[in-house]
Chains A and B, each alone.
Chain A
Amino acid sequence: MEKMPKWADVVLIPLISLLLAAAISALVILAIGEDPVAAVKLMVDGALGSTYGWGYTLYYATNFLFTGLAVSVAFHARMFNIGGEGQAMLGGLGAALVCLYIPWPHWSMALAGGAIGAAIFGAAWAAIPAYLQARRGSHIVITTIMFNFIAAAVLNYVLVNLLRPAGSMDPATARFSDTVHLPTLHELLAPLGIEFSKAAPANVSFLVALAACVFVWLLIWRTKLGYEIRAYGKSEQGALYAGISPFKITMIAMLLSGALAGMMATNNVMGEAERLVLNSTEGAGFIGIAVALMGRSHPFGVFLAAILFGFLYQGGAELALWTKIPREMIVVIQALVILFTGALDNMVRMPLEKIFIAFRKGKA
């Protein structure tokens, strides 16, 4: 017998966890001598009160959609991919190479080419830890952490020594050509007669991210491969008995995960900076973990969680701008979300299960 109805598991527990995280964050804001209610108002206003705010919220959300989906796909095969950060960095390199060395006639082709380049580089970076886990039994969490650091070193080397334009001091590639420029939401919506802020960086990649959500949903719940991935994630023994190859599933799930993380580059590298800089990922790989946990690894949940984190990011930036609350407050909130939804899940779940069981007994 199920201890709890499904809606409680999918909606109630994340919601309670989120409220706990919010309550503690409010206490922290109170403790540093600021007003939490005013802070929330400022965040809502700054992130959702104008198309400028929305533009930033959606821009951040696009990043988190890609990394959140990446972590989710690996979660379904019961693997914990902490390497989203490194895979997204390498994805940025892939996208940059494609944009710099291929003369694209139109942005749509550049977008497709850049996405493929980013996905291949991201997947390749995930392939090594995946192979080592599948064939040599190295723990995927540890190897992906190590690969994050190695990726940072690789990117640093490439940007400083290979791709930096002559005469430039900062470790970054040259600017991409104008034909590679991806249309922003302003440029997309203006022909439809909708006014959208020109200054905000949200761009067509948001639509790619939404397509990726649909793709992941179809793949995981509507294909044989998705079934195998979920079966393997539920029980390795059972999957083995059903003739599912652990090696194949491990590799495919991690390659997909890496490709999705890499594709984040279409947004931050191609859509926003239009050149590759050091630390272009800005920690989005780690936020993907929080997003996947919040969203229960379901694409729709990931979508909601990504928007929530986009809101937190933009709202947090506004807080840092207008109050004495530093930007790092977002990191605290993010950590609390990961803590409550991921690690302290049972703290919320166990009492809730007791309540539901007591309630059912009362009815029977």
Chain B
Amino acid sequence: MDFLTLIQVLDSTVRLATPLLLACLAGLFSERAGIFDIGLEGKMLASAFFSAAVAAVTGDVWLGLLAGIAASLVLSGLHGLASITFRGNQLISGLAVTMLAQGFTVVIAQRWFQQGGRTPSLMTEGRFGPITFPFAEAIAEVPVIGPIYAELLSGHSILVYLAFAAVPASWWLLYRTRFGLRLRAVGENPEAVDTAGISVVGLRFAAVGICGVLCGLAGAYLATSLQAGFVKDMTAGRGYIALAALIFAKWRPWHAMGACLLFGLLQAVALRFQNIELGGITIPVQMMDALPYILTVVILAGFVGKAIPPKAGGEPYVKER
């Protein structure tokens, strides 16, 4: 494998890791506050559809982004209503949210655009274009550093940079602010937070809201940056890979970035090489597809370090009377 191929694979790693990273951070906020969310997939899907639909109709990608975030927030609100207000089963609610999105997006897409459940392809102004760094053209010829700067770092959509900027921002918010401390506490010991006179319900809704915004960004990225428009089920299990990455990262922001880059790399390699020859053994492409899930099972089983979720995760909080 020559250097240019390597750069190209890493470049598509970054592209493919971005939606995972946004969704993974979304799950991080939600689960750190004690709300399990297996509906990441559904929120991404809803956002992908509405961002593409609005961008296609108005021709303004920023309006599309807002619509995507709004759609994702509505589903977040539903999940919050079910799992916080009515103390329902968070896993069932997450599943329902995903199915709701899978059905609704196609039904509405068919009604609005009559193109078999997809949106029209987005033209340039309906998409987030690449941002070219200064001097990228000029430096591109310089060996090693040139391609890294021009191909790998420069030329991504704004959402990619936003996703990676969200990592330190999330870390700072969770570990260096009062809000973050309380948010983490509510996922570990809601009784203590309640005793301190802070609203458990309010904090959890805030976390679910942040989760909605981030999933909205992830979905909009899929439909308006990675691809040009919405197609049925376009998230293709990314919400679940993000969930896997979250467990892999043991619910920590920087590790989430590492996990998402790793899973993005697996996807990029699988996309480019199909079956890989390694020392006489052929690794089938299906193995690469399944690897994130297998790794997650291994991590969950504690064979390579144990992943311990937030203690109050999945439990509705009932105030004692």
Contact = CB atoms under 8 A, between A and B. Distances in A.
Q: Do A and B bind each other?
A: yes
Given A132-B301, A153-B289, A329-B103, A338 B92 contact: yes
A339 B82 contact: yes
A136 B300 CA distance: 8
A338 B87 CA distance: 15
A161 B106 CA distance: 33
Nearest to A332: B103
Interface string A146-175: 110110011011001100000000000000
B38 A145 contact: yes
Interface string A291-309: 0010000000000000000
A161 B284 contact: yes
A141 B92 CA distance: 10
Given A146-B296, A153-B286, A136 B103 contact: no
A338 B99 contact: yes
Nearest to A325: B107
Nearest to B108: A32
A328 B297 contact: no
A347 B83 CA distance: 11
B93 A343 contact: yes
A142 B286 contact: no
B110 A324 contact: yes
Contacts of B293: 146-147, 149-150, 153
A242 interface: no
Contacts of B106: 326, 328, 331
Given A142-B243, A149-B240, A343-B89, A330 B83 contact: no
A136 B301 contact: yes
Contacts of A362: none
A218 B37 CA distance: 36
Contact of A286 (B99, B108, B110, B287): B99
Contacts of B247: 142
B103 A139 contact: no
Contacts of B289: 149, 153, 156
Contacts of B86: 343-347, 350
A143 B297 contact: yes
A165 B284 CA distance: 19
User: Considering residues B87, B107, B287, which has the most beta carbons from chain A within 10 angstroms of its beta carbon?
Assistant: B107
A334 B88 contact: no
A28 interface: yes
B103 A335 contact: yes
A272 to B, nearest CB: 23
Given A149-B237, A153-B289, A344-B88, A339 B296 contact: no
Contacts of A191: none
A227 B236 CA distance: 41
B100 A149 contact: no
Contact of A338 (B95, B296, B300, B302): B95
A145 B102 contact: no
A332 B100 contact: yes
Given A142-B296, A147-B297, A154-B290, A326 B95 contact: no
Contacts of A332: 99-100, 103-104, 107
Contacts of A350: 86
A129 B300 CA distance: 10
A82 interface: yes
A191 B89 CA distance: 49
A338 B107 CA distance: 18
A342 interface: yes
B96 A342 contact: yes
A326 B296 contact: no
A332 B102 CA distance: 8
Contact of A82 (B87, B88, B95, B117): B95
B244 interface: yes
B110 A326 contact: yes
B294 interface: yes
A332 B103 CA distance: 5
A329 B109 CA distance: 12
Given A157-B287, A342-B88, A344-B88, A336 B100 contact: yes
A146 B294 CA distance: 7
B111 interface: yes
B91 interface: yes
A156 B133 CA distance: 42
A245 B286 CA distance: 38
B96 A335 contact: yes
Interface in B285-315: 286-287, 289-290, 293-294, 296-297, 300-302, 309
24 contacts: A80-B89, A138-B302, A141-B38, A142-B300, A143-B300, A145-B38, A145-B243, A146-B244, A149-B289, A153-B289, A153-B290, A157-B287, A328-B103, A328-B104, A328-B107, A331-B102, A335-B97, A335-B103, A336-B100, A338-B92, A338-B95, A342-B88, A342-B95, A346-B88
Given A328-B232, A331-B106, 11 more contacts: A129-B297, A136-B302, A147-B293, A149-B240, A149-B290, A156-B289, A157-B286, A286-B99, A324-B110, A329-B107, A335-B96
Interface of A: 28, 32-33, 80, 82, 128-129, 132, 136-139, 141-143, 145-147, 149-150, 153-154, 156-157, 160-161, 286, 289, 293, 324-326, 328-336, 338-339, 342-347, 350
> Which 10 residue pairs spanning A and B have beta carbons closest together?
A331-B103, A332-B103, A343-B93, A335-B99, A153-B290, A342-B92, A339-B96, A138-B300, A343-B88, A328-B106
